A and B are shown apart, each in its own frame.
Chain A
Amino acid sequence: MGKTIAEKILSTHSGQDARAGDTVVAELDHVMGQDGTSPLTIDVFRKMGGRTVAYPERVSLVIDHSAPSPNEGVSSLHKLMRDFAREQGVRLYDIGSGVCHQLIPEQGHVFPGALVVGADSHSCTYGALNAFSTGVGSTDMAAALISGKMWFRVPETIRLLINGTLQPGVFSKDLILHLVGDMTADGATYCAVEFAGEAIQALSIEARFTITNMAIEMGAKAGLMEADEKTLRWVNERYHGPCQPVSPDPDAEYREVREYDASRLEPQVAVPHRVDRVVPVGEVEGTPIQQAVIGTCTNGRLEDLRVAARILKGKKVNPDVRLIVAPASRRVLLDAIADGTLTTIIEAGGAVVTPGCGPCVGTHNGVPSNGENVISTANRNFKGRMANSNAFIFLASPATVAASALEGKIVDPRKYWQYESGAGVVRGGSG
């Protein structure tokens, strides 16, 4: 019987014939922690009797969730991370560097066939590069720092085959929202999900990250894609070691295979307070909004900012809306400055914050008020997610968020997209 991508990567890294259901201890290629999880990791590292990090070069600590620090408590946790990084000789991405899930691939720490863990639930993002990567807790990460290894239960895999072509004004974010809605928030719990098909192949690497980023929102342990020429080109520009792309065997065993047609998909919105409560934008059109957010590890990349800028160009954000833009990394910020994207956004009235998580998780940078509606490109709309349990969060693509920011209410972005770019000229699969 053949193997899935997950089974193959866990086999090569554990030296065992890993099959779904087995438990293995496997060697890790990279370990990431952010400022919400690393302080506890460091605490546990000491309590576990840890003295030195096994492979410092395979470790990255990222200060992104509350960056720069909003208060004294956070400052002391940040200091703990900085001191630990210095003491152990591990890499630290300090404030302003960007969101962990942008940095880890962008800085060349991920490659096809790699096994990566991150002490953050959206570490499944790196699966777009054909790596098995998954979120773990602080204790797991401490054990990984000490041993360079981690215990895994080899997951079953669900394969999602996406046929067809996304229409103009419809983006990878709309696709993944639709898939999460269809699979439901726990439809893939404990499983790996392979995303495949022509609609996936047509996407840029940036747009693919948006998909794998949200695999966890259907409960998945990992979201995986095969490596194609685009993947290898993207990786080769950033990573210079050996790598072994991994494809599933034709006779691999899947828990389930589902097929979708991307061609008929409309822009999608996840409505409060569940990520899997997903509707076509038409159903919520007209809902007033007070805050719009473009950024996060889901949609804070250059491509996303460009989509927003294209819609905002020469216009003004509605006076009743605060538009907050958080570029995913310093690189993204610099590129968006260089090509004028940022000027367009700022002229339209956008408030740009430090590269990082921005207002995503309610630590700072734009906490909504009671009763307010927020439309965001993020990946979660749980009650209280943005630090106010009396606010309502809608999730959508950068295009839908930008268009809604202009009108002060949720709107279908396609009229702006077609108006700006000419119908059919720009394919919609790039955000």
Chain B
Amino acid sequence: MKYQGKAHVFGDDINTDYIISGKYKFKTLDMKELAKHVMEDLDPEFYEKVQDGDFLVAGRNFGCGSSREQAPLALKHAGIRAVLARSFARLFYRNAINTGLPVVECDTDEISPGDRLEVDLEAGKIRNLTTGKVLTSKPLPPVMLKILGDGGLAAHFLKYGDFHLTGEME
């Protein structure tokens, strides 16, 4: 799986209230509607700027705060293909995997706004097409790759009716 897209860069400690404010998430289950408000406290035009397949790039502790799955879902529905950060908060990381939004831990200091990136999930390689630099990421544990590969935990359950991860856990 290789993806190409443009980088939208944010800083450290982007919490779930920034990603999608609590005032919206309680109102609706319509993710397309929520997606319009994604990141708006930090960049009111974010939704307009994102093109399908772009990447969100951030610093440390991305997605800290609440357990709201609306955060990865709204990003996904806004067209974000994957999130790259120096580190992720645990709940966001988990929810992203479960909802099928790839998360990549790497040294994001090397990425500037607007850079074009090519992300190879299996190989753990991020090629910055603008600067020519290549970054590597920690590979995802097999259980998470399996869930992502199935398209998220919902798709996994639809396929197997239960957890079917044993082969991946050795």
Contact = CB atoms under 8 A, between A and B. Distances in A.
Interface string B37-76: 0000100000000000000000011001111111001000
A361 interface: yes
B61 to A, nearest CB: 4
Contacts of B15: 382
B128 interface: no
Given A48-B157, A119-B67, A186-B60, A389 B95 contact: no
A37 B68 contact: yes
A139 interface: yes
B67 A136 contact: yes
Interface stretch (B106-114, B117-125, B130-138, B158-166): B158-166
A57 to B, nearest CB: 20
A25 B162 CA distance: 11
A202 interface: no
Contacts, number: 153
Contact of A49 (B28, B153, B158): B158
A35 B26 contact: yes
Contacts of A362: 21-23
Contacts of B73: 40
B94 A137 contact: yes
Contact of A136 (B64, B88, B91): B91
Contact of A137 (B26, B95, B163, B168): B95
Interface string A17-52: 000001111000000000111011001100111100
In this complex, the interface size class of chain A, counting residues with CB under 8 Å from chain B, is 35 or more
A146 B156 CA distance: 13
B21 A139 contact: no
B165 A77 contact: no
Contacts of B143: 23, 151, 153
B12 to A, nearest CB: 9
A149 B163 contact: yes
Interface residues of B, number: 46
Contacts of B90: 189-190, 219, 221
A362 B65 CA distance: 14
A142 interface: yes
B89 A361 contact: no
A154 to B, nearest CB: 11
Interface in A142-196: 142-143, 146-147, 149, 151, 153, 185-186, 189-190
B161 A383 contact: no
Given A23-B168, A139-B99, A361-B66, 6 more contacts: A39-B29, A123-B67, A136-B91, A140-B95, A185-B64, A219-B64
> 9 closest pairs, A vs B, by CB?
A137-B95, A137-B69, A73-B27, A186-B61, A139-B98, A48-B157, A121-B67, A135-B67, A138-B69
Interface of A: 22-25, 35-37, 39-40, 43-44, 47-50, 65-66, 71, 73-74, 77, 118-121, 123, 135-140, 142-143, 146-147, 149, 151, 153, 185-186, 189-190, 216, 219, 221, 274, 361-363, 380, 382-385, 387, 389
5 contacts: A77-B29, A137-B98, A147-B162, A186-B89, A190-B90
